[in-house]
Amino acid sequence: MLDCTDRHARYFMRQISHHAVMYTEMVTTGALIHGDRSRFLDFDNAEHPIALQLGGSDPAAMAQCSAFAQEWGYDEVNINVGCPSDRVQSGSFGACLMQTPALVADNVKAMVAEVDIPVTVKARIGVDDQEPREALWVLTDAVANAGCNVLLVHARKAWLQGLSPKENRDIPPLDYDLVYELKRDFPELEIIINGGIKTIQECQQHLTEVDGVMMGREAYSNPFVMSSVDSALYADDRAMLSRQEVLDVYLAYCEKQLQTGTRLNHLTRHIIGLFHGESNSRLWRQHISDHAHKAGAGLEVLRDALQKLLEANQYQQLRQEQHSLHH
């Protein structure tokens, strides 16, 4: 979820679900050790529970960055063993680490020794010509013995040669049954399934076989799919905010961010899908896309976009009522 789940996106999503665990974008160890640490690690207290996802393969560097995560107040630190991008491969981390399970275990061991927060691993079921039933089992056994109790599994292979990162999200077939089988063989571990999951009903179905569900692309493009998570999966019967109420909270957040110099389009790109599936949502998306990137753009862009949406819906409702009266 590079370029997606930044702190603005997570704050926005937290207004829709109080309980779902938020994961950061993958941050490389080099960025944290040599770069602007606050830029990558700062987050709002509202975002808890939150996990920092690390990209790296050097145990000493991963341990050092885990210590940063604990110091900053993260609830979990996660090793990415699933990202297939060329940039990640050239750094010898991400999905290519599926080929070196002993190295992943060395990283887990070093990180567990450094911090008290949970160290977790996010993996694919295999890469390239690996036999998933062998590769995933070997990796799971290795990291479990090193002190990792939680494995998040994207239930499809990654093809490091021949497919783009985008194609790797869709083309390799999903194999949910394999992840279920992994849970049966490692009942003591917490196994969380990921990949192609689009509805809360699907989540509930998976939860009869595994311990948790990770939803990524669908939650980002259709954020209000998360609005029933708390009641359906966490037995929290508090009234959830409506789309407009979520927007009101986020507008107040945006106002503060704009005052610190954040550009409006960095804030609005995460909420394009807020009205996904609603009548005339195209008007909302279009107005934001046309205006949020302009120099000096402010909250009026969002207010105007909402106004266009509401007016179109009112007009549509009026036409339907007139049509009903006519007939």
Q: Do 144 and 95 meet the contact criterion of CB atoms below 8 Å apart? A: no
**Which residues are 26's β-sheet partners?**
53
β-pairing, 190-194 vs 22-28, is unpaired
Closest alpha carbon to 69 in 96, 50, 88 = 50
Order of all β-strands in the sheet with 76-81: 22-28, 50-55, 76-81, 119-124, 150-154, 190-194, 212-214
Q: At 193, is the secondary structure helix, strand, or coil? A: strand
Query: In this structure, how many other beta carbons lie within 10 angstroms of the beta carbon of residue 202?
Result: 16
**Which residues are 122's β-sheet partners?**
80, 152
Catalytic residue among 4, 65, 83, 254: 83
Tell me, what amino acid is at 188? E
The DSSP output letter for 21 is: P
Sign of the dihedral defined by the CA atoms of residues 224, 229, 230, 235, in that order: positive
The question of whether 96 is a catalytic residue gets the answer no
Read off φ and ψ for residue 176, nearest 5 degrees. Answer: -65, -35
**Which residues are 121's β-sheet partners?**
79, 151
Six-digit token pair at 76? Answer: 């979990």
Helix (H) or strand (E) holding 153: strand 150-154
Distance CA 179, CA 183 (A): 6
Sign of the dihedral defined by the CA atoms of residues 266, 268, 273, 274, in that order: positive
Active site residues: 83
